[in-house]
Amino acid sequence: MTVQSTNTPSPLVWSYRRSSLTVDEAGDVPPHGKLLDARPGEHVRGEVKTLGPTAGHLPGAVTQSEAITPSPLISATELADLLDGRSRGRPIVLDVRWQLGLDDGYEQYLSGHIPGALYVDLPTQLAGRATPAAGRHPLPAPAAFEKVLQSLGVRQESTVVVYDDWSAQSAARAWWLLTAAGIGSVRVLDGGLASWRAAGQPLESGEVTAIGSTVRVDAYRSPTLTIDEAAALPQHGVLLDARAAERFRGDVEPVDPVAGHIPGAINAPATGNLDASGRFLPPQELRERFEDAGVRADAPLGVYCGSGVTASHNILALTIVGFNAALYPGSWSQWSHTDRPVATGDQPG
């Protein structure tokens, strides 16, 4: 066998471009390591067929950019190694437990959390003031989020791991904001607190305090959409709605004043990003899911949800497979408080 070395934290990366792997050996590499397909991206995705009888790639293979770019996800085992010093650089761990309609996240944190984790309250620290004009969870002003990061001891070069117990939905919001603020490395615990427990890792109780920092957040670097830009996007790009199908169709609306969706939007519920264990689907399955929804590399892409939280989950999943998407922070909680048109039913409208 020929091992191709790459600058990646993955266990092993094997190349099947002019390598000595047999077909059986190549098939056995995933999921223990990464099988790197060094052909151009359009060949890997199956958009172009050259000499072979079929287009596509070997199951589990990744492109060169996917292999070199660290995943925004981290496993419980990898996090445990970082925390006990077996890997270089101890991360800052943030507990972002929160669910719509519940306010006991802090109490749950106090009763048991990953050792050293700091608690972050989504409504007050990861969102601005709710108004009908801005939406239920608007982005906090950069200056306000700067103070949050300073209180947590986060620095520009920090490695930060975020987790929750709500299918990574609130953790994804924290991931989006930290990434948009330019923090060096931000990762989401795949499977959340349940995966930590399942791995047999310990919890500790009580409050953890941080030594402050002087980090600066002058502006958010990740793309966002205004309400006008979200309205226009379906005409020349793809606008995904991350809410449940029944809310997209307009069958029910438990929170906002009007049921339905933005005309031209395509439904891609965030719950479809996860497997039965609550972990993110393998990258190839995520890519197929979004491509089936109409996502493509050459089209502008935006995501919204009810209030801008769950949309971050789709953006995280899209990032895993190399798509860059803009967040519409106001989302349906802003749109539904205007006189803008509303579509209903399964189709974009």
Closest CA to 126 of 79, 160, 174: 174
Phi, psi of 12 (to 5 degrees): -145, 145
Q: Is 61 a catalytic residue?
A: no
The CA–CA distances, whole Å, from 194 to 84, 100, 267 equal 19, 19, 28
> Residue type for 44, please?
V
Cα gap 142→148, rounded to integer Å? 10
Phi, psi of 159 (to 5 degrees): -100, 125
Closest CA to 332 of 312, 349, 307: 307
Of 82, 117, 225, 305, which one is the catalytic site residue? 305
Is residue 135 within 8 A of residue 222, CB to CB? The reply is no
Cα gap 58→72, rounded to integer Å? 23
Closest CA to 96 of 9, 208, 173: 173
333: which 2 tokens?
Answer: 């909680």
The CA–CA distances, whole Å, from 122 to 63, 100, 126, 231, 274 equal 35, 10, 5, 27, 22
The CA–CA distances, whole Å, from 83 to 97, 154, 205, 245, 246 equal 20, 16, 17, 39, 41
Long-range contacts for 20-27 (Cβ within 8 Å, ≥24 apart)?
Answer: 25/1, 26/58, 27/58, 27/59
Q: Which residues are catalytic?
A: 305
